[in-house]
Amino acid sequence: MPPREDFGARIFKVTRDDSGSRLTWMKVTGGRLNVKEELSARPDARKAWTGKADQLRLYSGTKSQLMETALPGTVVAVTGLADTYPGEGLGFEPDAASPVLEPVLRYRVILPEGCDVHTALRQLRELEQEDPLLHVVWDERLGQVHLQLMGEVQLEVLQSLLERRFGLRVSFDEGGILYKETIRSRVEGVGHYEPLRHYAEVHVVLEPGPSGSGVQIDTSCREDELAGSWQRLVLTHLAEKTHLGPLIGAPLTDVKITLAAGQAHVKHTEGGDFRQATYRAVRQGLRSAQAAGECVLLEPWYQFTLRIPQTAVGRALADMPRLWAEFDPPATEGEDAVITGKAPVAALRGYAREVAAYTKGRGQLNCLPTGYAPCHNTEEVVASVGYDIDGDLENTADSVFCSHGAGVMVRWDKVPDWMHIPSVLARGERLAWVAREQEAAEESENPSERWASRGEAYRASLAQDKELMAIFERTYGPIRRDPRLAMEPVKKRTPERKSASPRTVSGSSTRREGPEHLLVDGYNVIFSWDELKALAQENMEAARGRLMDILCNYAAYRRCVPILVFDAYKVKGKGREVEEYHNLHVVYTKEAETADMYIEKVTHQIAKHYYTRVVTSDATEQIIILGNGALRVSSQAFQQEVREAEGEIREILASQCP
């Protein structure tokens, strides 16, 4: 196949020449590479960079000659590139797959007396660029250099290389296990950064991911809530940092972090504000998970194969519980027995020497990393590390709010009381949670029982109306108003826009804050409004679409959470569906479920937590709504509210136009 015309290259090695110049070895796979040409990283690279190809060297042994142009198939060493790494792709070439093996042990570098730690760190960084399996970690708090390696053989190679190349004789401590942390359930994190003349707030949702998936970054935030440029900046900050867990400060893994909401200020927000808010949001979510007991400490495990004489099988099997091993029964191969299984790396460290001792050198233990699993001695590890999470100021979970003209530090567990954006999980997922709970409860019954229970429950609710009203009158006193006035339109509002501050319902034993939730009986409204009724006679789909657009505009202006419910109870085999239309939740009920039944169930759940109104002209449904703690609005009265809101919008737009 002929080479491609556009440029592509694959980097396979990074070295340095005798003068210390950095050489990036690559094979050109397409197009051409010219000397002094500008190169840059791919969008999906580990780090964004740009550089100029100062020299193109063609090596033959230790000698080289300079080239003006490298054509496809040429292996060339390029100088002038400072941030490349082995396995990186340029142009159309993607990065090579990540190494199958990853370090599971951590060693502290012991430097000779009089050696400058920063010089040694710089030299180790050079070797790290050349070897992808070498990970150098600088612990600024302790002033120590740590290496993440596979084992003692790699230590010996590194010692020899440091002495030969830099004249540096180092040693290492006994090493420790490279732990990681994750979470076991979904949690929301909030970060706010608002010192004087700065502003940013970020909400992220952290949820557990598949084993070995690392940290995944995503966004579900709408651009009408946070501009796309700010969202991309937040995603960059999420990806650039190694997030630490709250148990021992180990790296976070197997977690999906989703940007769910954010807020900027037109005048005061700067790029660094979102960096602070993003870091604090992730940390606050992790601390919330820790407080709920949902953090998990992970340790590396080995897949092992133990080959020993049959006379030593009893000793090996007796060792397995001590090693916390999961193993298969021994298999016989000639005079030897073979035991396979997996066990924590911490338990298997040093066991190879024990095997050699009790088998007199005839036994052999082979280990291969098999990933991470929950730690077998979490409490012991946490106690031995002694991680001071409150003292880790570089990874704080606290937020900065502005109060009385000055920045105020707010502790992480008090941030939800101060945050400016309502909780994403409570706002956006409560409806889906209610639907899932109802589905799970109903799936446990057979169809005939479901039909019977629905009918009995609905009839029971009607039969209890008088009893409920009697309870209300005993609690709050008799109702002395004319019942005919209940269906009259509400009084006209002043054209002042509602405040976005949380609403509090008085006269109730439960204080309900947050955005207003508005449930609308779709078909009831369509056949109550003349405009929509006429449109429905021609095209029902058009009437539904028109109502959805009206509710979107109304909810955006009034800053409420709209839920539009349509009947689908006559559609056989139909399951409940929930769709998102801009800022509107649209629910299509399932077979044998009316909109009234669904609204009754949902108001029973959300009216406990939020100021809730229901738009319907069904008199029976209105009584049930009152019993659930929600407020009712007739379809005609709501139409008047919509007209007032549309008029206010037109006035605002007219005042802004020159």
- Residues 434-459 have a mean pLDDT of 52
- Per-residue model confidence (pLDDT) at position 504: 42
Residues 371 and 251 in one domain: no
Residues 526 and 607 in one domain: yes
Residues 287 and 398 in one domain: yes
- Per-residue model confidence (pLDDT) at position 448: 53
- Per-residue model confidence (pLDDT) at position 510: 46
Give 605 or 628, the one with higher predicted confidence.
Answer: 605
Cα 145 to Cα 89, 117, 148, 172, 180: the distances in Å are: 30, 8, 10, 10, 19
Mean pLDDT of the chain: 83
- Per-residue model confidence (pLDDT) at position 432: 55
Nearest to 260 by CA among 227, 219, 296: 219
Instruction: pLDDT band for 657, please (50, 70, 90 cuts).
Output: low
Instruction: pLDDT band for 461, please (50, 70, 90 cuts).
Output: very low
- Per-residue model confidence (pLDDT) at position 463: 47
- Per-residue model confidence (pLDDT) at position 631: 84
Instruction: pLDDT band for 622, please (50, 70, 90 cuts).
Output: low
- Domain tally, the chain: 5
Q: Among the ranges 61-75, 587-601, 611-625, which has the highest mean pLDDT value?
A: 61-75
Q: Are 252 and 182 in contact (CB under 8 A)?
A: yes
- Residues 70-77 have a mean pLDDT of 91
Asked if residue 479 is part of any domain, the answer here is no
- Per-residue model confidence (pLDDT) at position 479: 57
Q: At what angle do helices 540-558 and 530-538 cross, to 10 degrees?
A: 150
- In Å, how far from its chain's centre is CA 479? 51
Asked if residue 462 is part of any domain, the answer here is no
pLDDT at 248 over 90: yes
Residues 549 and 591 in one domain: yes
How does pLDDT run across 361-401, given as a tens digit for each residue?
899 999 888 899 999 999 999 999 889 999 888 899 999 99
- Per-residue model confidence (pLDDT) at position 466: 54
Q: Which domain holds residue 121?
A: 105-173
- Which DSSP helix (H) or strand (E) runs through 597? helix 595-606
- What's the sign of the alpha-carbon dihedral 44, 49, 50, 54? negative
Structure tokens given for 283: 């940390």
Which pTM value belongs to this model? 0.59
- Per-residue model confidence (pLDDT) at position 441: 54
How does pLDDT run across 468-523, given as a tens digit for each residue?
555 555 555 565 555 444 444 444 444 443 433 444 443 344 445 567 889 999 98
Dihedral, 94, 96, 98, 99 alpha carbons, nearest 10:
180
- Per-residue model confidence (pLDDT) at position 498: 41
Question: For residue 216, which phi and psi values (nearest 5 degrees)?
Answer: -105, 140
Instruction: pLDDT band for 547, please (50, 70, 90 cuts).
Output: very high
Q: How many CB atoms lie within 10 A of CB 168?
A: 18
Residues 580 and 625 in one domain: yes
Residues 152 and 189 in one domain: no
Asked if residue 647 is part of any domain, the answer here is yes
- Which DSSP helix (H) or strand (E) runs through 250? none
Instruction: pLDDT band for 100, please (50, 70, 90 cuts).
Output: low
- Residues 242-267 have a mean pLDDT of 93
- Per-residue model confidence (pLDDT) at position 477: 59
Q: Which of 66, 91, 116 is the last residue of a domain?
A: 91
Residues 404 and 546 in one domain: no
How does pLDDT run across 550-589, given as a tens digit for each residue?
999 999 888 899 999 988 755 555 667 888 888 889 988 8
Residues 266 and 400 in one domain: yes
pLDDT at 408 over 70: yes
Q: Which of 120, 150, 173 is the last residue of a domain?
A: 173
- Per-residue model confidence (pLDDT) at position 215: 94
- Per-residue model confidence (pLDDT) at position 562: 92
Structure tokens given for 227: 């501009």
Task: State the Cα–Cα distance between residues 594 and 565, nearest whole angstrom.
Answer: 9
Structure tokens given for 591: 């077979």
Q: Are 412 and 398 in contact (CB under 8 A)?
A: yes
CATH of the domain at 63: 2.40.30.10
pLDDT at 38 over 70: yes
Q: Are 201 and 277 in contact (CB under 8 A)?
A: yes
- Per-residue model confidence (pLDDT) at position 494: 43
Give 151 or 540, the one with higher predicted confidence.
Answer: 540
Asked if residue 130 is part of any domain, the answer here is yes
Q: Which of 154, 173, 192 is the last residue of a domain?
A: 173
- C-alpha distance across the termini of the chain, in Å: 63
Query: What DSSP state is assigned to residue 251?
Result: B
Instruction: pLDDT band for 205, please (50, 70, 90 cuts).
Output: very high
